[in-house]
Amino acid sequence: MTHKLTSFLGLFIVFAALVLSAGTAMAAPDFSQILSWPRGLQDPATPAMEHITEFHNMLLYIITAIVIFVTGLLLYVIIRFNAKANPVPSTTTHNVMLEVLWTVVPVVILIVIAVPSFKLLFFEARNPEPELTVKVIGHQWNWEYEYPDYGDVSFTANIIDAKDIDPSKGQKRLLSTDSPVVLPVDTNIVFEVTATDVIHSFAVPAFGIKVDAVPGRLNSTWARVTKTGTFYGQCSEICGKGHGFMPIEIKVVDKAEFEDWIKSQGGTVPEKVEAAKPAPAAPVVSEEAPVDLPVPADSAE
Ligand SMILES: [Cu+2]
């Protein structure tokens, strides 16, 4: 009875691991089809999310190998050493070689995981020199945005009620807002995040960001979005009855379009941004972008 249960569990784990690894081997789902039964992570739209995706996939290979190895061992023991096949059990209690191996091998695996993990952590934690700062303020239950570099631009984004959703405009239930955030592509954007009432969390999966919005405290994170399009996020800290109804909708557009939008919101485009405008095609800015993982020693600030 126990045999059957254990072998069944073993087979189930192997099957689940195979399904999972097959899922990530396929192309990542398009973020625009966020509601169409996606598997794996959303398509990355920032270098940070690209690194997160690579790290996630690497972990999946490691964990799949471990699950298969341990399940194989388990099955071998169940079949080879059960009471019928092996009526007289061995009385061995120590095996130095085995004990060294099962200590050293997991340590090596942990080091293999820890090194890229810390590199990723430092990469995400260190804000680059901001070209645009966006202040994000969480409220029960909506998000307020301010663009301090661009005059008086500020607005509150509320969820569009399910009954008012218009799919022909690309609106998505529970994700679209009445005033989407507009951001320029290929720009170092720093988000300063806070809240006015309870703790919220500003999270946009395609950007690889999730940062708590805490009353009385300013947290920050950054993103450099490398493609235009519409991206969605949700509050990710349980904040009350409207927690599931304060989505984040971000439209990433090219820089000229962003400036037009700023002006349409009554904002002003600062001189230095105007001056940089004549040469938008020059890839100077993107070459300076922190697309390579800095080594941890670099990151002391
Ligand atoms: Cu919230």
Residues 140-154 pLDDT 10s:
999 999 999 998 899
Range of the domain at 163: 132-270
- Average pLDDT over the chain, rounded to whole? 84
Query: Ligand 1 mean position to 142 CA, how many Å?
Result: 7
- The answer as to whether 108 is a domain residue is no
Query: Ligand 1 mean position to 122 CA, how many Å?
Result: 27
- The answer as to whether 289 is a domain residue is no
pLDDT at residue 86 is higher than 50: yes
Query: Ligand 1 mean position to 260 CA, how many Å?
Result: 30
Statement to judge: residues 157 and 251 lie in one domain: yes
* Token couple for 209: 């960001």
Query: Ligand 1 mean position to 29 CA, how many Å?
Result: 26
pLDDT at residue 1 is higher than 50: no
Query: Ligand 1 mean position to 174 CA, how many Å?
Result: 14
- The answer as to whether 109 is a domain residue is no
Amino acid residing at 154: S
Query: Ligand 1 mean position to 248 CA, how many Å?
Result: 11
CATH code for the domain in which residue 255 is found: 2.60.40.420
* Token couple for 12: 């189930």
Query: Ligand 1 mean position to 139 CA, how many Å?
Result: 7
Statement to judge: residues 81 and 147 lie in one domain: no
pLDDT at 170: 85
pLDDT at 292: 53
pLDDT at 283: 42
DSSP string, the chain: -HHHHHHHHHHHHHHHHHHHHHHHHSPPPPGGGTTS---SSPPP-SHHHHHHHHHHHHHHHHHHHHHHHHHHHHHHHHHHSSTTT-SS-------HHHHHHHHHHHHHHHHHHHHHHHHHHHHHHSPPPPSEEEEEEEETTEEEEEEGGGSSEEEEE-BPPGGG--GGGT--TTT-BSS-EEEESS--EEEEEEESSS-EEEEEGGGTEEEEE-BT--EEEEE---S-EEEEEEE-S--STTGGG--EEEEEE-HHHHHHHHHHTT----HHHHHHTT-TT-THHHHHS--SPPPGGGG--
- The answer as to whether 116 is a domain residue is no
Query: Ligand 1 mean position to 98 CA, how many Å?
Result: 50
pLDDT at residue 23 is higher than 80: no
Query: Ligand 1 mean position to 222 CA, how many Å?
Result: 20
- Residue 278 or 48, more confident: 48
Angle separating helix axes 47-80 and 2-25, nearest 10 degrees: 150
Which one of 56, 85, 114 terminates a domain? Answer: 85
Query: Ligand 1 mean position to 287 CA, how many Å?
Result: 36
Statement to judge: residues 66 and 176 lie in one domain: no
Query: Ligand 1 mean position to 220 CA, how many Å?
Result: 17
- The answer as to whether 74 is a domain residue is yes
pLDDT at residue 244 is higher than 80: yes
Which one of 85, 115, 147 terminates a domain? Answer: 85
Query: Ligand 1 mean position to 294 CA, how many Å?
Result: 33
Considering the entire predicted model, what is its pTM? 0.75
- Residue 181 or 301, more confident: 181
Statement to judge: residues 149 and 74 lie in one domain: no
Rg (CA), the chain: 25
pLDDT at 284: 42
Statement to judge: residues 64 and 156 lie in one domain: no
Which segment of 46-60, 129-143, 274-288 scores lowest on mean pLDDT? 274-288
pLDDT one-digit tens code per residue, 186-239: 999 999 999 999 999 999 999 999 999 999 999 999 999 999 999 999 999 999
Query: Ligand 1 mean position to 224 CA, how many Å?
Result: 24
- The answer as to whether 9 is a domain residue is yes
- If one counts the domains in the chain, the total is 2
Query: Ligand 1 mean position to 179 CA, how many Å?
Result: 17
**Cβ contacts of 263 within 8 Å, gap of 6 or more:** 269
Query: Ligand 1 mean position to 243 CA, how many Å?
Result: 5
Query: Ligand 1 mean position to 241 CA, how many Å?
Result: 9
- The answer as to whether 192 is a domain residue is yes
Which one of 24, 57, 85 terminates a domain? Answer: 85
Query: Ligand 1 mean position to 236 CA, how many Å?
Result: 7
- Residue 116 or 297, more confident: 116
Statement to judge: residues 265 and 151 lie in one domain: yes
- The answer as to whether 277 is a domain residue is no
Statement to judge: residues 80 and 154 lie in one domain: no
Q: How confident is the model at residue 173 (pLDDT cuts 50, 70, 90)?
A: confident
Q: How confident is the model at residue 35 (pLDDT cuts 50, 70, 90)?
A: low
Query: Ligand 1 mean position to 159 CA, how many Å?
Result: 12
Statement to judge: residues 6 and 63 lie in one domain: yes
Query: Ligand 1 mean position to 209 CA, how many Å?
Result: 15
Query: Ligand 1 mean position to 96 CA, how many Å?
Result: 54
